[in-house]
Structure formats: C-alpha cells, structure tokens
Structure 1
Amino acid sequence: MSSFGGLNTAYSGLNAARLALEVTGQNVANANTEGYTRQRITQVPVTQSALATYATQNSVGDGVQVTGVARVNDSLVDARVNSTASSASYWSTAADAASAVETATGEPGTTGLSSVLNKFWAAWQTMANNVGSSTSASSGAASALIAQGALVASTVSAGYQSAASSWSDARSAAASQVSTINDAAAKIADLNTQIRSLTASGGNVNSLLDQRDAAVTTLAGLTGASTRDNADGTVDVVVGGNTLVSGVTSRAVELGGSPAFPPSTSDPVQLRWADTHTAVSLDGGEMAARMASLQPSDGTGTGGVYAEAAVAYDTVAQAVADQVNAITATGTSSTGATGTAAAPLNFFSYSSTGSPALTLAVVPTSAAGIATADGTKGNYDTSIADRVSQIGTSQGAPDTTWSGYVARIGSQSATAASRASSATTAATAATTAQTSVGGVDLDEETSNLVIYQHAYQASARVISTINDVLDTLINMGAQ
C-alpha cells in the first residue's frame, strides 16, 4: 500500500465513521418517536482495485465503503405483530359487545328481570291472599300487582331499547372505521409510489417504510390484512384473499345494509367493496367482530349479540303475557266482573305486529279488571290468582327462558373476555419482540457513539501519521 493509497484508505474510514455517527444521532433523536425503527450503516471492505501485472502487489485493500443505511427489523416479527394485532382487536371488540349486553341485563341483581319476575309472581300470590278481605286491602294488593306488572313491562322494554341503542352505536363506529380503512389504504398506495421512486433513484426510504408499516398494522388491526412484497419495493395489502392495495393503487370499501333495528335478514349490515358492492371477506380484526355483532338473529341463539338480546326480551315479554292471559282471560275479578271470549280479562297486552317487549302493557287499572277466581267457587275463590302465581316455577316458564339466555350471554361474554386476554398477551409479546429488534436503546446508542468516535479519531490519526511520514520523505529529498 502506497502512502497516498493509505491516505485514501484512512479517508474512507473517516467517512464511514462520520456517517455512522450521523445515523446514531438520528436514532437518538427518534428514541421516543412512535413507529420509528432504528438504523445502522451497512459497509463492506474495498479490495485492491487492480491486479498485479509485472510485480506482486501487497495491497491489503483500499479501505471501507458504506453501502447504505439499513433498518434493523425482522420481517417475521413484523408479520407476527400484524397477525396478533388482528386477533387481539377481534376478541377485544367481541368481548366489549358481549359484556355490554350482559351488563345491561342487570343479572344477578335486584334490578334484573329475574328479580322483577319473582316479585311479580309474589304480587299475584299476595292478591290471592287478599281476595275476600276488606276492600281497602284488596284494592292495595291490586295496585301493587298492577305496579309490578308495569315494572315487568318497563324492564323488558328498557332491555330491548338498550340492545337497539348499542346496535346503533356499533354501526356508527363501523361507519367511522370504514373511513379509517380507506384512508390507510390510500396512504399505503401513496407511500408505495414514493418508495418506488426514491428507491429507483438511490434515496433513503427508511422513514417511508416506517410510515407504511404503521399503516399496515392499522389495517391488520381493523381488517386482518396481510401483505406481500413486490420486487420494486412496493407491497400489496390483501384482505380476505382480495387485494385492497395493489402497488400504487388502492380500492375503497363501504358499509352497506339496512340502518334500522332489528337488523334485516334480507339486507344485513356488511362491509362491501365500493366498486363491486360485494361483501368483503374478513379474516379477523375489529371490523370482523363489529360485523358479527351487527348481524340479525339466526334462530339458534348464535346470531348478532344485540339482535339475540332483543329476541330474548321479546320472547320473555310474549311468554309472560300469553301465559298470564291464558289463565286470567275467562276468570272473574274480586268485584264480580267476568271475562268472556269476546272481552277477556287479559292482564297484559302487546302488539301482534311490533316488538312485544316495546309494546307490553298492563291492561287493568284497578281490582275490577284483575281476574282472581274462576267464577264457580264463591266469593273467596283464589284459584286464578294462585295459578298465575305458580307460573314462575312451572315447566316452560318465562323465568326459565330468561335464565337460559342469561346463562348463554354470560358464557359468551366470559369466553370472549378470556380469548381477548390471551390474544392481547400474544400481541403484547409480539410488540415487545419487535421493539427489542427495532427499538432504540439509548444505552446501546451511547456505546455506539463512543465506538464511532474512536473509529473517527483513529482514522484521523492514520492520516496524521501518513502526513508526517510524507513530510519526512519530502524533507529528506530536499536535502
């Protein structure tokens, strides 16, 4: 190696150390920047530039060459972050929906429908015990029974309305997320354009890659999206086997389906492709859980969580009314009023075309309208009231139907919460692994600063030393 060659070698070392210091400074500056991936220079040794022709060269190389600035990331870890984000978002959303419906039941508790029904049947027993007693006692028992019947009606109505309100809120949230999906897809397509152009011109695209990865993770959490790499540096984003982003172009999605509750079986809420209006097949993510919760009842109890709740309230309301009315319809009140086929002494009424839960109402306004006897056993007969009071413990009672639903939604909520906890743990572990690979460790960067500083000083010392040698040689020749 000639002295002048040594100067070039030392200069390449200076340049490499300087670039390494700049990259380290960039890492330190972005230590708290969300989504930033730490960077490192990539360098290779420069071998001798020419082959020996007439004499053997003893060159050990021509220094070092910086080939680029690389992101320190692991594609497998990044893919795991996206897949776990999809699962965690799905189960978290599903758990929230089931928990909201379960909480609205008020079970177990004094305000829950189970407790209200128990008090309603007890009020019928009290009514039976007061038949034939003083007018004031009978009237008081009747007023208490009517009030308790009204509480049954208001409880099922409130439960139904809570399910309807939660459904509307979930649909609004889904509509908002559609905008987020479209914006993220368009951003990825735009970043693909910039990355492709800058890569072709030899520029540094690391910050653009960070932004694109963040947008992909957002889409993964919402739709379960995955990616595939292209040779030109762009990526395609795939949702349910269909391309959402293809290179530098993106597709849009829309929310379709009837906006009315209960959800329509003929026009259910769906995430659709805006260009073809066909349903988007979702592999996971928050939107998949949202769509599942917004579906209509399927008749087996496994449909949308809100619609199934509404069906449960309707079923109980209709069962209470039908079973009570079946006993009281042709009975006789404590005041002697008699029901007939044309004018039955029904205790409840509800709409035959609308929601039973929303339209359930108490018919009588006083003891005169409440059937307590069958009309054949005298003034002290309480058979009708007593039979009604036993409905709650009979086979096929509304109480049993309601208890079955409460158990089902409780199990569904617990299962979703457990799955959400496991999925969140997996997502946290994946994110931690990603951070350990690509996150900035200030202790490590501080150590790198010292290393690169010494490398810079050493290269400078080589130049200084060679300069002294050349100066000595020049002065020797001048003597």
Structure 2
Amino acid sequence: MGSTFAGLNTSFMGLTAARTAVDVAGQNVANANTTGYTRQRVSQSSVASVGKAGILEQPLPTAGGGVTVDAINRLGDKFLDARVRTALSNSGFHATRATAFSNIEKVLNEPSKDGLAAQLSKFWNSWQDLSNNAGKAAGASVVVEQAHVLGAQLADGYRAIDDQWGSTRGTVDAVTAELNNAGRQIAELNDQIRKQAAAGGSTNELVDRRNLLAEHVAETAGGVVVGRSDGGIDVLVGGNPLVSGADFNEVKAVGGTTLGSDVHLEWVKHPGLAIAMDGGELAAHLSLLKPANATGTGGALAESAEAYNRVATTLAATVNDVHRTGSTFEGVTGLDFFGFTPGAPAALGLNVIATGINDIAVGAAGAGNLDGSIADKISQLGVGNLSADGQWNAFVGSIAVTSQGELRQSDLADLSYGNASGAQKAQAGVDLDEESMNLISAQTAYQAAARAMTAMDELLDTLINKTGLVGR
C-alpha cells in the first residue's frame, strides 16, 4: 500500500513538472516576437528514494521519488549582452555623427552650380567683365547684384548651420531626459528583482525589461554594466554610477542655447563637474556642439559657421584692400566695397556698400574713366590658398573627408552590432520549431504521468474496495 501511495505522489510530481514545461513552452511561443524577450527552460532533477534502516532495511533496490522543478531558467548570456551594449554604444556614436556630417554637406551643397564656390566664381567673373567694359553702368550693376547674391548665400548657409546647431542642442535635452528615465526605471527594476528573488519568485521577465533598458542606456550614453550579488546591476556613465542598485543619480545638460556655447552633461548632485562621455548618441551630439577653436578642431557645426564667417571676412578684406587703391568715375578714392553690421557674425553682417558705377573704383587714380585695372586686379583675388575661394575649398574638402570617415565608421559599427545582435538572438531568441518539439515532449510526459496516476488509482480502488469479497 505504501509503495502504491508513493507511486501516486511520483505521478503527481511528474504531472506538475510536465505542466510547468508546457506552460514555459507556451510562454516562449507567445513571446516569440516580443522585443528583448529571452527564452526560458524548466530545470528539473530527479528525487532520490527514501533511505531505509533497521528493521525496514531490505536488500531490494527501490525506485526514486519522482521529479522536482528546480527553477525556470532564463537562457541569456551576459557576455553576449555586454557585447551588444558595446556595439550599440559605438553604433549610436558614429551613426549620429555620420548623419550630422551628411546634413552639413547638404548645407554646403558642394560641388554644384548653386554652391558658394560657384557664386564666388560668378562674382570674380563680374569684375573681369567690368574691367573690360569700364565705362558701362550695366557692368557695375552686375557686380553689385552678384555681390548681394554672394552675401545672401553666405548668410543663408550660416543660418542653416545655426538651425542645425539649435536642433542638435534640443536633441541633447530630449536624449538626456530619456537617459534619466531609463536610469530611473533600471533602479526601480533592481529593487523589484531583489524583492522578487528573496520571495522565491521568478525574475526572468523583470531581467528582460532591465536588460532592454540597459541597452538603451548604452546606445544613448555608452557606459558599463556591472553585476551585483543581489541580482541587481550598476550602470556607470563616464566612470561614475548612473544607477547603483536601487539608487539613481540624475544628469542634466548644461550650457547655452546659441551657436558657440559650451554644452556638456553634469551630475545634478555634483554641479560644475562635467561628465566625460565615452560613447553613445549623447557623446556624438556634444562633440558636434563644441565651440570653434583656433586650430579648427572644435565642434563640426561651430567650425562650419566659422568657415562662413572666415570666407566673408577674407572676401571683404581682400576686395576692400584693392578697391581703396582705385578711383571712381568722380575721382573718389579710399572707398570700401563691402561693409559689416556691427555686432553680427561676419557671414550675417556682410553688406554691400557700393550701389552702382559711381561707388565702384574700377580704374587707377588719374588713369581715366575707361581704365579697368583695379577691377581686373579684384577679379584675380579668388586665386590662391589664402583667398576666400581657397579657404572655402579647403574647408569643404576637410568636411568631405571627415564625413566619409564617419560614414565608414558608422557602417562598421552597424556591422559589428549586427553580428553581436545575431549571436545574442541565436542564444536567447525563441525558435518556434524547437518550442514545438519541447511542447510535444512535455505533453507526452503529462499524458504518461496521468496514465500512471489512473493505473495507481484503479489499483488502489481494487485493493480497498474488492479485497475480501471473493468467496462470499
């Protein structure tokens, strides 16, 4: 009788284990397309038979006590997860910079018939035409018109770069808010996981959610994830903890909102201490927002705006220097052709002082109204590396080289992420064919355990209710 009741218990344990396996397989199938979900498996072990001693000891072997469910394991790999986070950090950084440089190239619009280089060429050609027709007011009007078009092109380019800087600055605030939100949620999940594990519950789904948030932090701000003994994680950004267990440290974007401002991240609890970003989208945005410097290695946006200012300044200086040496039809000398609006950036403040033939020094003083030597000299000012044209071409070339480099880096980072993500999914992703086999196996085990339990029940019914009835 005792062994029969033990058999019922063994069958019941088999039913329970098989039912758990069916539930887990169903959970995997249901989440096959859930982002961040990691497949799970039931961990089982056999129960040893009860030992016997004394008068109960017997030499006959006895069967084990059935099966027990030890855990529902999450089949993730922390090393693959770390590889994905590193790849996301690099991908976020280079993709952001590649997009920004592509937008800068669109603003520069070089080479093209409508680019600044083409407008500079048209401007110098108008002076050459004027030198050949020194006495014609129409030629002077063309020079003035081309000068206005050139000034407008410089101003439009500068404004477009300024707008891109402002958009990037706004993005920094938005991404910083996302970073804080993700860090806050990770800290809350750390606390929930610790409590759930202490209560003996499953933390698999909570860990999946936390890992997805950790990946978002990596893509946003780089950082490093360090495991804790209580099942939580620490997330370090710039070497300092954004998340430490259940504690979260908020960050904020500091700096002005106008082109040329110095923008960086700081810890709210430690104002004045800039965070040294080591990857992710935020590091890329902040690198783009840096002010220009004397070596030309500042932020790409500020350096682009400075290139427009430099061209405007060089253009005005070189033209005015030659223009002052010439004479107008009325014999006036020492006149400037270009001027600047005080307090405005050079590219925005460049204006044309001359309005027509009477304001333009076409020839040399005393050479007569048909002399076009000064106009001819001005038409040659676009030649040379130090000219406005040379400076602009050098800058456009440097942007093109950097843009191509960032694009290649972005492609390589995407490839690295694709490989890392593929390896992670191969380990943690749900295979429907595999889950179908697991489900069939668990269902078969359930049916077998149920049949064994039915047999035990019928045997007990016969022993209990039919024994002693024979021969009555």
> TM-score, length-normalised on structure 2?
0.95
Candidates 270, 279, 282, aligned match of 1:284: 279
Distance in 2 separating the partners of 1:464 and 1:193 = 45
Residues 123 and 141, structure 1, Cα contact 8 Å, conserved in 2: yes
Amino acid of the structure 1 residue aligned with 2:99: D
Q: Which residue of 1 aligns with 2:221?
A: 223
**What residue in structure 2 maps to residue 4 of structure 1?**
5
State the SS of the aligned residue for 2:97. helix
After TM superposition, the structure 1 = structure 2 runs for residues 112-261 of structure 1, keeping only pairs within 5 Å, are 112-132=115-135, 138-261=136-259
What residue ranges of structure 2 are gaps of 5+ in the alignment? Answer: none
CA separation of 1:273/1:330 partners in 2, compared to 1, >3 Å: closer, same or farther? same
Query: Which deviations, in whole Å up to 9, do the C-alpha atoms of 1:239-264 show, x marking residues without a partner?
Result: 1210111111100001101222222x
Matches within 5 A, 1:410-429: 410-429=400-419
Structure 1 residues 24-423: aligned runs within 5 Å: 24-53=25-54, 54-56=57-59, 58-132=61-135, 138-263=136-261, 268-277=262-271, 278-333=273-328, 335-339=329-333, 344-351=334-341, 353-394=343-384, 396-423=386-413
Secondary structure in 2 aligned to 1:371?
coil
Give the Cα–Cα distance (whole angstroms) in 2 for the partners of residues 142 and 478 of structure 1: 132
Task: Give the AA of the match of 1:219.
Answer: V
| Equivalent residues of 1:102, 1:410 under 8 A apart | yes
Q: Which AA in structure 2 matches 1:420?
A: S
Of 459-468 and 161-170, more deviation after overlay is shown by 459-468
Deviation string 1:110-159 (CA, Å, 9 cap, x unpaired) is 11110000000000001111113xxxxx1111111111111111111111
SS in 1 for 2:225: strand
Q: 1:395 to 1:291 in 2, by over 3 A?
A: closer
CA distance in 2, matches of 1:164, 1:471: 89
Amino acid at match of 1:445: E
The Cα offsets for residues 152-183 of structure 1, whole Å up to 9 and x where unpaired, read as: 11111111111111111100010011111111
Q: Deviations over 1:428-450 (max 9, x none)?
A: 22222222222222222222211
Offset of residue 472 of structure 1: 5.7
Structure 1 gaps of 5+ residues are 133-137
Q: How many residues align?
A: 465
Q: Distance in 2 between matches of 1:354 and 1:17?
A: 78
Which moves more between the two structures, 24-33 or 186-195?
24-33
Q: 1:395 to 1:269 in 2, by over 3 A?
A: closer
The question of whether the paired residues in 1 share the 8 Å contact of 2:117 and 2:392 is answered with yes
Percent identity (aligned): 38
Letter in 2 for 1:48: S
Q: CA deviation at 1:395?
A: 5.0
User: 1:369-422: CA deviations, max 9, x gaps?
Assistant: 011111233332111000000111245211111100000011111111111111
Aligned 8 A contact 1:330 1:338 in 2: no
Are the counterparts in 2 of residues 114 and 399 from structure 1 also a CA contact under 8 Å?
yes
Q: Which string of whole-angstrom CA distances, capped at 9 and with x for unpartnered residues, describes residues 166-208 of structure 1?
A: 1111000100111111111111111111111111010111111
**Contact persistence 1:216–1:225 (CA under 8 A):** no
- Tell whether the 8 Å contact from 2:223 to 2:239 is kept in structure 1 after alignment: no
1:440 maps onto 2:430 in alignment: yes
The residue type paired with residue 69 of structure 2 is V
1:393 is paired with a residue whose SS is coil
**Shift of residue 97, structure 1, vs aligned partner:** 1.2
TM-score (structure 1 length as normaliser) = 0.93
Q: CA deviation at 1:477?
A: 6.0
- Whether contact under 8 Å (1:337, 1:368) holds in the other structure is no
What are the superposed Cα offsets for residues 15-74 of structure 1, whole Å, 9 maximum, x if unpaired?
A: 100011111111222222222222111111111232544323512311111011111211
